[in-house]
Structure formats: C-alpha cells, structure tokens
C-alpha cells in the first residue's frame, strides 16, 4: 500500500499560482494512479484530476480547464498539482490520493489559503 | 455531472445502535460507489468500494449495499470512535467523479 506525504501549507495572493507536491513511498510509484482532490472549509470533497506516472497521462475536471496542471517526477516518486489564477474560492485543503476512480490511500492534506 | 445526495445531514445515535446512511445518485451509477469516513482534522479514509467491497482492515461492523441509484452504508453497532462525517462518491462511466455532501454521525 502506498504512503503519500504532501508539502506544507501555503498562503497566496489572488491571481497567483500554487504548486503542491505529493511524495509516494511503499509501492511501485509509476504503476499507481494519483489523484488530487480538495475540500473547502466546512465543505465536501471535490475531485480535481489525476495522473498515471507510468504513462504520463493526466486528466482533470472541466471546471479547472486552463488553470490546472498535474505532473509527475518518477525520479523522486513525486506528483505535483499546479493551480493558477488563484481566487478566494480556491482556499481549501488539497489532498493527493492513490487511485483514479476510488481512493485507497490519502496524503495528510495541504492547506492553501488565498487572501489579499 | 452526476449529483450524489446523502441523507440525513446529521444523525445522533447511541453507542451500540445500528446506523444506516443513505446516498442517492441523480442517474444510475451501477455499483460504482465508494464510501469514506472523515474524522475531524484528518484525511478521509476509504471504507467501501464497488458499493459493497470492504477496504483493507475495515471493522466487520461496516457494510455497504445498493446498486443503480440507491446506496446504503450500515454500521451494525456504533462505537464511539465512529464519530465522523461519512461521504459517498460515484465513479461511473467518466469523470468528473462526484461526492455527496456528507452525513455527520454524532454520539448521543
């Protein structure tokens, strides 16, 4: 079973970008799909997109079209999500999780706060 | 986009009682439903996938059922450590995968 460790909390200005990392261990990195989800304060979960490092292919929710990039670095077993043009509504805890449809293992979460 | 609707929003239950959480999909999702438990300040934990398959090391008191548009998560005998919010999620056909808004289980 894969273990996932995410980067630390971020505070960003509106209009800027944020890049959150997710380092995997305990399994063959490239064979797992890794997905990104987020949870706004007091709200439910939202699937953002995912990647299969073995194939380098990623997909994402249409809602984030043009703003999100999901990438993977096999040499460090790390997956990244880059979200641009940040607005206050992007304030949330961002999670990475293993799997591309249901999600077995989760990272600890990264709080991204967007505030002027 | 498929909408998942959970009921009730909050449930107050005494330890040892049987708990039934409901989740309804806006269209058929076959058996492509997962359930998660999220305790305060923690990441979600997978409980059930494919509507009724149990995650590794899941206590036997948790079970899932349903197909099509109606799904249920049952806790046969509530324990104090089951205080949490429970989310259902669909992964039918193609993304985006969507979640219900959650049911909060409180200990009475």
pLDDT in tens, B77-96: 999 999 999 999 999 988 89
pLDDT tens, residue by residue, A27-36: 777 778 999 9
Kindly indicate the confidence band of residue A6, based on its pLDDT and cuts at 50, 70 and 90.
very high
pLDDT tens, residue by residue, A57-90: 899 999 999 999 999 998 999 999 999 999 999 9
Per-residue pLDDT at A27: 73
Per-residue pLDDT at A43: 92
Read off the pLDDT of each residue in B14-35 and give the average, rounded to a whole number: 97
DSSP for chain B? ---EEEE-SEEEE-TT--EEEEEEESS--TT-EEEEEE-TTS--EEEEETTTEEPTT--TTEEEEEETTEEEEEESS--GGG-EEEEEEE--SSSPPEE---EEEEE-
Read off the pLDDT of each residue in A17-43 and give the average, rounded to a whole number: 90
Q: Is A64 on the interface with B (CB under 8 A)?
A: no
Residues 34-63 of B with CB under 8 A from A: 34, 36, 43-46, 49-50, 55-56
| Closest alpha carbon within chain B to A111 | B41
CB contacts of B57 in chain A (<8 Å) are: none
Q: Is B2 on the interface with A (CB under 8 A)?
A: no
CB contacts of A1 in chain B (<8 Å) are: 56
């Amino acid at each position: 079973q894969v273990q996932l460790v995410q980067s630390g909390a971020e505070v960003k200005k509106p209009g800027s970008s944020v890049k959150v990392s997710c380092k995997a261990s305990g399994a063959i990195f490239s064979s797992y799909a890794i997905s990104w989800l987020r949870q706004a304060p007091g709200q439910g979960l939202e699937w953002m997109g995912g990647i299969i490092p073995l194939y380098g292919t990623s997909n994402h929710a249409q809602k984030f079209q043009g703003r999100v990039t999901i990438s993977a670095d096999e040499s460090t077993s790390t997956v990244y999500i880059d979200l641009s043009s940040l607005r206050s509504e992007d304030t949330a805890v961002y999670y990475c999780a293993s799997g591309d449809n249901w999600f077995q293992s989760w990272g600890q979460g990264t709080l991204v706060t967007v505030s002027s | 986009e498929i909408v998942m609707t959970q009921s009730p929003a909050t449930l107050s239950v005494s330890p040892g009682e049987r708990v039934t959480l409901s989740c309804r999909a806006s269209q058929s999702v076959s058996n492509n439903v997962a359930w998660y438990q999220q305790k305060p300040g923690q990441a979600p934990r997978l409980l059930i996938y494919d509507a009724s398959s149990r995650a590794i090391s899941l206590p036997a008191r948790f079970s899932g059922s349903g197909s099509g548009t109606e799904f249920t998560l049952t806790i046969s005998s509530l324990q104090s450590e089951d205080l949490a919010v429970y989310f259902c999620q669909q992964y039918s056909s193609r993304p985006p995968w969507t979640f219900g808004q959650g049911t909060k289980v409180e200990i009475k």
